[in-house]
Amino acid sequence: MIDTPNSPNVTGHQGVGQDQFLKILSREEALSRFEAALFPRPMAVEKLPLADALGLALAENVVAPIDVPPFDRSNVDGFAVRSSDIGTATEGRPVRLMLNDETIACGVMPELMVQSGTATPIATGGPLPRGADAVVMVEHTHPAEGDAIEVRRSAAPGQFVSYAGSDIARGEILLRAGTVIGSREIGMLAACGIASVPVARKPRVAVLSTGDELVQPGEPLPPAGIYDTNGAIVAAAVSENGGEAAFLGSFPDDEASLERAMRRALAAHDMLILSGGTSKGAGDVSHRIVSRLGQPGIIAHGVALKPGKPLCLAVCNGKPVVILPGFPTSAMFTFHDMIVPALRRMAGLPPRTDMQVTARVPLRIASELGRTEFVMVSLVKGQEGLVAYPTGKGSGAITSFAQADGFIRIEALADHMPAGSETEVTLFTPQVRVPDLVIIGSHCTGLDRVVAPLAQDGFSARVLAVGSLGGLAAARRGECDLAPIHLLDEKTGRYNEPFLGEGLELVPGWRRMQGIVYRPGDDRFEGLDAQGAVRAALADPTCLMVNRNQGAGTRILIDSLLGDARPDGYWNQPRSHNAVAAAVAQKRADWGVTIAPVAKAAGLGFIPLAEEHYDFALVTARKDRPPVAAFLAALKSDECRAALEEAGFRPA
Ligand code: AMP
Ligand code: MG
């Protein structure tokens, strides 16, 4: 079973700062205390021109000041008639009517009455003249001698007439308070002649980042500097949820200057959102400042969330003040889950339904008991609806946003979410964008060379690394188009093909040399073959290994090398070839198994183990889909083969 990387079963080992949270509230308790301190509250109302009211909530009922249409109106081009005159009209026995001496165009008030035996030409939208009770279409008439027409069909009273007030009746409630104003509502208001409406004023939200290390995008990055991600992302997410964001910049962890900035910001805004500096470490000053900004002050500091435990919620003299955790993904989880509901309520907006979808999780996701856990997910289309693959790489990983469509929540009382569970996904942006081509399975840097050119054909592709076995399972469940695999069948000595089964077919990919990596110059490994290197590693108790995740083809290779041995480092199980190389290069481990191109790029020593076959299990039923055909064509192309060779692979 494959666990997500951001839900390891870590035990013990709490951060020093986190131990200092004296009173940790559950997510639900923190939310309900925060809401109770904020609501009910008077809504700030302003009157805005229609165009500026788009997306805002109406603050009061709007009553229709006029009838729409304001008069009885013709719906077609034709003739205004008395229906009783033409009751007997047919194709064979038309009825002759004399034409009145006027033509009613749009915007022209009729002057002549339609007497019995007469008709008046009328345009679509023209007001019905006195005496007439129906309109016949011009197609059902024929010009006749002497200023007359022949009518060839009968008409019921009211035919092709919209009566005054039939759309909107004067005095009725046109739009109710709380309605979110869209183009349709703007149209209804305009039809009634209303030029401006009372709306809930957008809450003005000041956004500040804190941290000595922060640098604004566009500035050069000094050593140990970090670009301020939260400022931009929180401000944008505030705007997406009905607030008017003012990003005020990033501030060093200096209590005096930060306090001045926070007090100024709070005076000029309805809400204050900070990020960073919320742990209870010595350098973390924001929460101390918040505790003296106003009443009732801090409501929750330390919430049983994972990630997001240091979240701080406060209300200062009626205004919400929030300190989001510093890690961008933690900041986003907590913002969407805990802050958006209050922000929208202040903006008079209903909860966001376009930000929630239901999906099934394809595998068991382990979770810490006692904390509400957020897990980033990537959505793909399954046979019955959406499937949510966990993609998180830990709370600090901004790049996992690129793969993720949103996140799921595992309740505090669950220690895992079972495979197959249906769950709500909170989307990061409204509208799910399911990729055209889905590739789930083993990770390989060569894959980029095939997939990248597909964008030129207008296809979006998503590659999810879950290991070879996970990929095969996904392919069997119809969750992907292709599953890249490298699995050796020990009985037959053959790669991949013996594992396919019904509904899948093999598309040859490329060969890649797997081998043991070590830092060049490490005497324990120099000059040895693979068996010798493993023996040497096992003989030295200070020698640390780095493993691979369960389900990875490389892991099977490692397990067969190790037999029953479990050397130190065995439980360090990253999910990619690159992570193995990085661990060895950075001396967090002394040896591991990865592929030659990755070893070469990292400048590591390499002892060849076996050339393995990296192929694709193609879901036969999906073979003819255009994005799949484009992938298969790209794979065969000369450019792609050349690029693979250049990167150190051997195309099949
Ligand atoms: P803190 O909560 O201040 O201890 O920060 C936790 C982590 O998040 C640290 O690695 C910070 O560098 C990082 N961090 C804090 N604020 C931001 C930000 N605005 N943008 C990007 N990373 C941040
Ligand atoms: Mg900080």
pLDDT tens-digit series, residues 307-363: 999 999 999 999 999 999 999 999 999 999 999 999 999 999 998 888 899 999 998
Task: Point out the ligand nearest to the CA of residue 216.
Answer: 1
- Other CB atoms within 10 Å distance of the CB of residue 433: 11
CA nearest to 284, candidates 307, 255, 262: 255
- pLDDT for the residue 195: 98
Which residues, chain by chain, have CB under 5 Å from ion ligand 2?
A: 211, 276-277
**Dist. CA 582 → ligand 1 center (Å):** 23
What integer is the mean pLDDT of 147-173? Answer: 96
Task: Point out the ligand nearest to the CA of residue 228.
Answer: 1
CA nearest to 278, candidates 223, 334, 222: 334
> To the nearest 10°, the Cα dihedral for 104, 107, 108, 114?
50
Cα separation, 606 vs 515, in Å, equals 6
Mutational test site, ligand 1, from 226, 305, 324, max ligand atoms within 8 Å of CB: 226
For 356-427, CATH gives 2.40.340.10
Contacts of residue 502, defined as CB under 8 A and 6 or more positions apart, other chains included, come to none
pLDDT tens-digit series, residues 492-531: 989 999 999 999 999 999 999 999 999 999 999 999 999 9
- pLDDT for the residue 392: 59
358: burial class by Cβ within 10 Å (0-12, 13-18, 19+)? exposed
CA nearest to 274, candidates 183, 339, 351: 339
pLDDT tens-digit series, residues 286-308: 999 999 999 999 999 999 999 99
126: burial class by Cβ within 10 Å (0-12, 13-18, 19+)? buried
What integer is the mean pLDDT of 106-126? Answer: 97
Residue 400 pLDDT > 70, yes or no? no
Mutational test site, ligand 1, from 16, 207, 214, max ligand atoms within 8 Å of CB: 214
| HEC string for 211-232 | CCCEECCCCCCCCCCEECCHHH
Task: Point out the ligand nearest to the CA of residue 207.
Answer: 1
Return the percentage of the chain with pLDDT > 90, whole number. 83
Cα separation, 7 vs 403, in Å, equals 18
**Dist. CA 291 → ligand 2 center (Å):** 18
CA nearest to 460, candidates 375, 552, 354, 381: 381
Cα separation, 473 vs 475, in Å, equals 5
Pocket of ligand 1 (CB under 6 A): 209, 211, 213-214, 226, 228-231, 275-279, 325-328
Domain ranges of the chain: 27-41+202-346, 45-68+167-200, 73-162, 356-427, 438-652
For 45-68+167-200, CATH gives 3.90.105.10
Residue 2 pLDDT > 60, yes or no? no
pTM here is 0.79
Whether residue 397 contacts residue 330, with contact meaning beta carbons closer than 8 Å, is answered with: no
What integer is the mean pLDDT of 37-57? Answer: 96
CA nearest to 612, candidates 600, 626, 596, 628: 596
Residue 19 pLDDT > 70, yes or no? no
- pLDDT for the residue 6: 39
- pLDDT for the residue 267: 98
- pLDDT for the residue 1: 33
pLDDT tens-digit series, residues 520-572: 999 999 999 999 999 999 999 999 999 998 888 899 899 999 999 999 999 99
Determine which residue's CA is closest to atom 16 belonging to ligand 1: 326
pLDDT tens-digit series, residues 198-231: 999 999 999 999 999 999 999 999 999 999 999 9
For 438-652, CATH gives 3.40.190.290
Cα separation, 20 vs 288, in Å, equals 14
Q: Which residue has the higher pLDDT, 463 or 116?
A: 116
**Dist. CA 286 → ligand 2 center (Å):** 10
**Dist. CA 210 → ligand 2 center (Å):** 6
Task: Point out the ligand nearest to the CA of residue 215.
Answer: 1
Residue 11 pLDDT > 60, yes or no? no
pLDDT tens-digit series, residues 179-193: 999 999 999 999 999
Using alpha carbons only, what angle is made at residue 144 by residues 139 and 149, rounded to the nearest 5 degrees?
A: 50
- pLDDT for the residue 38: 98
- pLDDT for the residue 10: 33
**Dist. CA 276 → ligand 1 center (Å):** 5
> To the nearest 10°, the Cα dihedral for 590, 593, 595, 599?
0
- pLDDT for the residue 583: 97
What is the average pLDDT value for the chain, to the nearest integer?
Answer: 92
- Other CB atoms within 10 Å distance of the CB of residue 503: 14
Top-tier CATH class for 73-162? mainly beta
Mutational test site, ligand 1, from 208, 210, 213, max ligand atoms within 8 Å of CB: 213
Pick the CATH number of 27-41+202-346 from 3.40.630.10, 3.40.190.10, 3.60.10.10, 3.40.980.10: 3.40.980.10
- pLDDT for the residue 353: 84
pLDDT tens-digit series, residues 227-275: 999 999 999 999 999 999 999 999 999 999 999 999 999 999 999 999 9
Strand pairing class (482-485; 494-495): unpaired
**Dist. CA 314 → ligand 2 center (Å):** 19
Question: Which atom of ligand 1 is least distant from the CA of 330?
Answer: 8
Residue 397 pLDDT > 80, yes or no? no
**Dist. CA 331 → ligand 2 center (Å):** 13
Task: Point out the ligand nearest to the CA of residue 254.
Answer: 2
Determine which residue's CA is closest to atom 11 belonging to ligand 1: 326
**Dist. CA 212 → ligand 2 center (Å):** 7
